[in-house]
Amino acid sequence: MVYTIVVHLYAKADSASISKLKAKLVEASGVYSKDRETLSWFVMQDVHDERKFTIVERYLKESSQKYHLENRRLNPFSPSTT
């Protein structure tokens, strides 16, 4: 059975923060989509509120998430993301 994680993010109100977050999420999707046992890792932006983003991560099985967590090519806690 496929293991799915859904993450909801809400950017700061200024357009620079929204653009920065969007760019980082697009970059992350390109990187994490290539992780082993990752079926898909994609980002959506709300059409009515540009501050709202949703990430849908789909893995082969629950234990597959470990490959994503071990991937250090992007650090989600770096100052550029916060």
CATH number at residue 40: 3.30.70.100
| Residue 73 clears pLDDT 90, i.e. is over it | no
In a domain, 11, yes or no: yes
Position 57 confidence tier, pLDDT thresholds 50, 70, 90: very high
Residue 10 lies in a domain: yes
Task: Report the number of distinct structural domains present in the chain.
Answer: 1
pTM: 0.84
Mean pLDDT of the chain: 90
- Is 80 inside a domain boundary? no
Q: What is the pLDDT of residues 27-56, one digit of tens each?
A: 999 999 999 999 999 999 999 999 999 999
Which of 15, 5, 22 is closest to 81 using CA atoms? 22
Nearest Cα to Cα of residue 68 among 10, 9, 1, 7 = 7
d(CA 63, CA 61): 6
Asked if residue 79 is part of any domain, the answer here is no
Residue-number span of the structural domain to which 27 is assigned: 3-70
